[in-house]
Structure 1
Amino acid sequence: MNEQRTWAYESRTSGLDGIRRVMRPRRALAADEVRVKVAAAAINYRDYALAIGDYLPQMPRPYVPLSEGAGVVTEVGRDTSRLKLGDRVLGHYTSAWLDGAFEPSFHDSKVGGPLDGWLAEEVIMPANALLPVPEGWSFEQAASLAISGVTAWHALGDISALQDRFVLIEGSGNVSLMALQLAAQAGARPIVLTSRQHLASELQQCGAEAVIGPGDTATRLERIMWFTGGRGVDLAVEVAGGDTLMSLVLPAMATGGRVAVVGFLDDSHVHGDLVGPLLKGLLRLEGISVGSRRHFEELLAFMRAHQMRPSIAESFAPEDIQQALVHRPQALGKVVVVMDEQGEARRFHVKHQPDIHR
């Protein structure tokens, strides 16, 4: 009897050239697992940093990259009743973190490293780590939220408390864009810092009340304080770290403000007086590591209620993964990888839907 095999892209060595397409044996499901035919996956900075070895260089290889994805259920384990063949699903990133506080052991359950990710013909995941695709969404849209969307949602905190609050957002990357759109929809007053001045109009259309372009730190800080009437911002979604955090974000905070630290695009090290500004302004500095399945469910419910959908900038084929990982689109939105160009997952979904005319 011939062994069934499926294709996947593995990161076998550090560097983009270390990502190769391979054929793998098709293993049987555990009782609580689900097999998903992958239709689309999406790119995050984490995927690039892992692939080149800048992030978690000690992580074992090979592994299948890409932490976000969506597809169609093609097989379910014997103890799985909440999903059925043909269901359109999207994947949760920290697959073991379902609710409550984060536990250190959850790091080992992250999809796209160390667990295999979505850059493959099919994935196997625990049933609890899969959520239904919202009605009317494309697979590409559904594949674009597990990291960037959930991180933004978690960083914003109590969404109902943002009405008329000043929210500082750095950049126009995936997390920042989602934070902007969610905050604006919640009635906040977003201020966006960007080095890409040509995107100012688009950022305003997404809800930014003020867009502050390139400039020296003193000038940018002055503009923030002017826009907030000298009060400062109530919440900052901090993605840069380093000198941006120390010299711009902390001085721009209102008394009692909160800084949600979600990244370190500039530098993970800080130099200078960190404790002084925190004590003087009674500030809260909180590290954000994406979120739980509960966070994801809340995000999807909010987006459905407000008729929001993720923005897609460009798409690539899986064989162009090296280019996709380094590509920076001119437009706002996510870079996605269309895994199912022949539409097999889509046809499988239609074939296994109940016939309402019977």
Structure 2
Amino acid sequence: MRVAQIPSFGIDSLELVDRPTPQPGPGEVLIKIRAVSLNYRDLMMVKGAYNPKLKLPRIPCSDGAGEVAAVGEGVKAWKPGDRVCGTFFQNWLDGAPTPAKVKGALGGDIDGMLAEYVLLKENGIVSFPEHLSYEEAATLPCAALTAWRAIAAADLQPNSTVLIQGTGGVSIFALQFAKLKGVRILGISSSDAKLQRASSLGLDKGLDYGETSEWDRWVMEQTNGEGADLVVEVGGVGTLPRSLRAVKMGGVIAQIGVLSGPAEAIPIPMILHKQVRIQGIYVGSRQYFEEMNKAIASANLRPVFESRDWTEAREAFREMESATHFGKLVLRVQ
């Protein structure tokens, strides 16, 4: 089988090589991969910025979908032909996270999904909604589940306001999931064209922050001085101070991203004064994944993505690096 691997760090190091096709042992499932989606974590992993001590060579990418090709001894839940996704954390099945549960992350601790065949534990996969294609399903394991848990972090009511940052995979999923709750959604982006696309998905009001960097003031204006009930924070330490100024007193910041470096000191007194809850979000368990899939199926929700052939993986990673994409970037595996 062919796999894409990094023998050394850097996008230019990504290479297609041949490896023996694995055979499933007891409790294992062999999956024929049909599509893989990219996350910012995958880009950082390839570049060596996520874990400089990563054992190489490594097959990158945590998110993929395909069909069961073969099952090992004792596997009862799956059969050849079943359409499945891998779970981001192979060991976090349910309950609260623990250090042991968050080990075994695909595309990091262990080889990922950018290959023609992948061997996973039988409880390390889930079925996905029937109305989704393989490409759509490949967007779910990390970005969708992260957004799902971010929206669940606050007790949103119909009169609540949610702020999303940018139009990448997590933010667009957060927009779609928030829309299912009937709340008002504000969004910021560096591209007016992207904001217009987001409006077609349900964004109520958008701001091009290239025109004004003080988007926190804009949020307060849009909420009559109250602030957003929930901020889906994907920027990181560089945007957190403005998120704190934009969030409502007693509101929630779902902290996800690490995209930006510090621009100013984090205003700790504001956290205390506004009594803000900052909730770290790191994907989720298999149980959360299954709950999300039920909601996606019930709403007939369709992920937003752009697709490329997996032989164009280098170009796709560069596209992610330039942040020119909208929604998710997906690689078709032939």
TM category, shorter: over 0.9
- CA–CA distance in structure 1, aligned partners of residues 135 and 328 of structure 2: 9
Aligned to 1:135: 130
State whether structure 2 residue 322 is matched by structure 1 residue 322.
Answer: no
CA deviation after TM superposition for structure 1 residue 239, in Å: 0.8
Instruction: Check whether the contact 1:168–1:236 (CA below 8 A) recurs between aligned residues.
Output: yes
SS of residue matched to 1:109: coil
- CA–CA distance in structure 1, aligned partners of residues 37 and 253 of structure 2: 27
Instruction: Check whether the contact 1:34–1:127 (CA below 8 A) recurs between aligned residues.
Output: yes
- CA–CA distance in structure 2, aligned partners of residues 227 and 157 of structure 1: 23
Q: TM-score, normalised by structure 1?
A: 0.88
Larger Rg: 1
- CA–CA distance in structure 1, aligned partners of residues 85 and 39 of structure 2: 16
Match of 2:212 among 194, 213, 216: 216
- CA–CA distance in structure 1, aligned partners of residues 143 and 84 of structure 2: 17
State whether structure 2 residue 145 is matched by structure 1 residue 153.
Answer: no
Instruction: Check whether the contact 1:318–1:337 (CA below 8 A) recurs between aligned residues.
Output: yes
Match of 1:249 among 231, 243, 257: 243
State the one-letter code of the partner of 2:298: A
State whether structure 2 residue 303 is matched by structure 1 residue 310.
Answer: yes
Aligned to 1:225: 220
Match of 1:125 among 120, 126, 132: 120
Instruction: Check whether the contact 2:8–2:57 (CA below 8 A) recurs between aligned residues.
Output: yes
State the one-letter code of the partner of 1:216: T
Deviates more, 1:101-110 or 1:228-237: 101-110
CA deviation after TM superposition for structure 1 residue 330, in Å: 5.5
Deviates more, 1:150-159 or 1:329-338: 329-338
- CA–CA distance in structure 2, aligned partners of residues 62 and 330 of structure 1: 28
- CA–CA distance in structure 2, aligned partners of residues 163 and 81 of structure 1: 43
State whether structure 2 residue 7 is matched by structure 1 residue 7.
Answer: no
- CA–CA distance in structure 1, aligned partners of residues 107 and 238 of structure 2: 30
Q: How many residues end up aligned between the 2 structures? A: 331
Gaps of 5+ in 1: 1-5, 341-358
- CA–CA distance in structure 1, aligned partners of residues 263 and 163 of structure 2: 19
Match of 1:291 among 252, 275, 284: 284
Q: TM-score, normalised by structure 2?
A: 0.94
Match of 2:98 among 103, 115, 125: 103
State the one-letter code of the partner of 2:156: A
SS of residue matched to 1:105: coil
CA deviation after TM superposition for structure 1 residue 16, in Å: 1.4
- CA–CA distance in structure 1, aligned partners of residues 311 and 180 of structure 2: 37
Q: Equivalences for 1:1-358 in 2 at 5 Å? A: 6-157=1-152, 161-214=156-209, 215-218=211-214, 220-246=215-241, 248-267=242-261, 269=262, 271-313=264-306, 315-328=307-320, 332-340=326-334
Instruction: Check whether the contact 2:172–2:304 (CA below 8 A) recurs between aligned residues.
Output: no
- CA–CA distance in structure 2, aligned partners of residues 107 and 99 of structure 1: 11
SS of residue matched to 2:140: coil
Task: Flag the 1:159–1:236 CA change in 2: closer, same or farther, 3 A.
Answer: closer
Aligned CA-pair RMSD = 1.7
SS of residue matched to 1:161: coil
* Per-residue CA distance 1:75-96 (angstroms, 9 max, x = gap): 1111110101111111111111
- CA–CA distance in structure 2, aligned partners of residues 103 and 318 of structure 1: 34
- CA–CA distance in structure 2, aligned partners of residues 232 and 133 of structure 1: 36
Task: Flag the 1:199–1:17 CA change in 2: closer, same or farther, 3 A.
Answer: closer
